Chains A and B, each alone.
Chain A
């Protein structure tokens, strides 16, 4: 075992605050980013939970929930394209939901095809729900939003002053940032949205490509082909998903808030870790002074402190990972989804490890103060 590790193990209580500080920073960064990922993932649910390869929307559409009406005539434009297998109109628009008791909520109405191979129907809409939605002016909401919307299955509510009946519910926790998702058939959507959407207009055209792997190429080529008309934007579903999340991330300035919080966590971690390493080095100053007296170069001591900071960082990160997963699991118990992709875990671990090494550099000021003469005073 190397000398740094031996020291760390022997003086565990001394180094624990530093290890804890690194773990705290890693947990804070991972959970903050995870929460944010989870939060903004809901903004792209209509894209992520459907089967379309390519989305066509209004020019420069910023996010899936901000699509403006486009003429239905666009459909004939792309339907004949040899790269396209299926084209499907799709409605999505904000609406004013009036509860049976009179209260109101903002909702996002989604009207799509109800066929088995529908491109716009979210995967959580079961065949039974889709069958129920064939009833005119019927809607389905998610169980997680039903209470906010003030309805039970079978109740009536109003959207844009149009009376609708709740015929079922999904149970996938489909929440949105701005308003509850309300699913219905295309005819129902057309009727409910007639006051806000021009005649013969829809919100999106959804495409299925002959080769789904070509979605991005097809989107790029169509954008090029139709660029002169300035009347639509074509994106692959993954592009549209990312664009929707990024829009809300920037729009809400949550990214900046995240940056500040993460920076604060890193600062706290760096201060505690550097103080821990500083105190540990000062405590061993006389032993180090002997080495210096005997001509051992100072850089050996410097590197020992830096290696210690690496171990403190590594143990802190290793301690953090089970804590991150445990806290994310606790989050799911209260309905908060915190995705933790490996890239996020690697990033939080990497950043905090660098922070620990940086703390080691700060603690090196203690090495500079060690003088062999102190042994003779």
Chain B
């Protein structure tokens, strides 16, 4: 089973990132290279402090590595996102990136619909009517039809995470970064969330990277990576559900 190289969309090359604690400096990410593919959900696993979230931050353009490159393919062109200016990187993230975090981070005052609308209106300047239509469509796909007017306090944990997923996917991003998206949920809600991410990666041909320490997710992702002490232990283990859609 192999993945065609032209399907690689995000590539980390020899990444190093050190954190200083007093006089001591420690490599949290230690010479990590990783290839991520379109249409796949990749699971990044490892114990606490292994550097998973740091690697996610580096790959998503939020945290600069001390050494190495992050290359992203956009419209057939490879871009080194850490050679971009901060403004260019912000624009890159606006065009290409969605984020999901463990804590939902939904605006308490806004309805489910507004949480999604705000991304389209503030990010892409989509007119109100169209933003509303697209938000409602996305909420429908996420099984939240009829809950457009609900505010976070009126939604369950699973529903809130689905709204957060909708917010990340509303602009159909090339890359979606999810940090522990299921850890605050019971397993059945967690399953729904990871399956939604699976579906989205296939439908939008997105590259989705999930950071988690929950082994139960292994059965629901396309590929997994194991980090320990900042080093990649096992590289690109295809998972049981892996189908490499269209590339077998």
Interface of A toward B, CB cutoff 8 Å: 3, 6-7, 9-11, 284, 286-287, 289-297, 300, 372-373, 375-377
Contacts and interface: CB of A to CB of B under 8 A. Distances in A.
Interface stretch (B4-12, B33-41, B107-115, B216-224): B107-115
A9 B62 contact: no
Given A3-B110, A3-B114, A3-B118, A295 B105 contact: no
Interface in B160-203: 167-168, 171, 179
6 pairs of A and B residues whose beta carbons are closest in the complex = A295-B94, A10-B109, A295-B93, A7-B109, A286-B105, A376-B53
A95 B172 CA distance: 89
Given A375-B179, A376-B54, A294 B109 contact: no
Contacts of B49: none
Contacts of A10: 108-109, 151
B236 interface: no
Interface string B45-61: 00000000110110010
21 contacts: A3-B107, A3-B114, A6-B114, A7-B110, A10-B109, A11-B108, A11-B109, A290-B99, A290-B101, A293-B60, A294-B93, A294-B123, A294-B171, A295-B93, A296-B94, A297-B94, A372-B99, A376-B54, A376-B56, A376-B179, A377-B53
- Residue among A7, A290, A373 with max Cβ neighbours from chain B (10 Å): A290
A226 to B, nearest CB: 70
A290 B104 CA distance: 9
A290 B105 contact: yes
Given A295-B90, A296-B119, A300-B122, A375 B110 contact: no
A308 to B, nearest CB: 11
Nearest to A303: B122
Given A3-B114, A9-B109, A376-B179, A294 B57 contact: no
Interface of B: 53-54, 56-57, 60, 62-63, 90-95, 97-99, 101, 103, 105-110, 114, 118-119, 122-123, 151, 167-168, 171, 179
A295 B179 CA distance: 17
Contacts of B98: 294
Contact of B95 (A295, A373, A376): A295
A273 B229 CA distance: 47
A373 B114 contact: no
Contacts of B179: 375-376
A291 B109 contact: no
Contacts of B90: 292, 295, 297
A165 B99 CA distance: 92
Contact of B62 (A291, A300, A376): A376
A287 B107 contact: yes
Nearest to B89: A295
Contacts of B168: 294
A294 B94 contact: yes
A14 B140 CA distance: 33
A293 B108 contact: no
A377 B103 CA distance: 12
Given A3-B118, A286-B103, A373 B123 contact: no
A327 B78 CA distance: 69
A11 B109 CA distance: 7
Given A7-B107, A372-B62, A375-B179, A295 B53 contact: no
B120 to A, nearest CB: 10
Contact of B107 (A284, A295, A376): A284
Contacts of A373: 57, 62-63
B18 to A, nearest CB: 16
Given A11-B109, A375-B101, A295 B123 contact: yes
Contacts of B106: 287
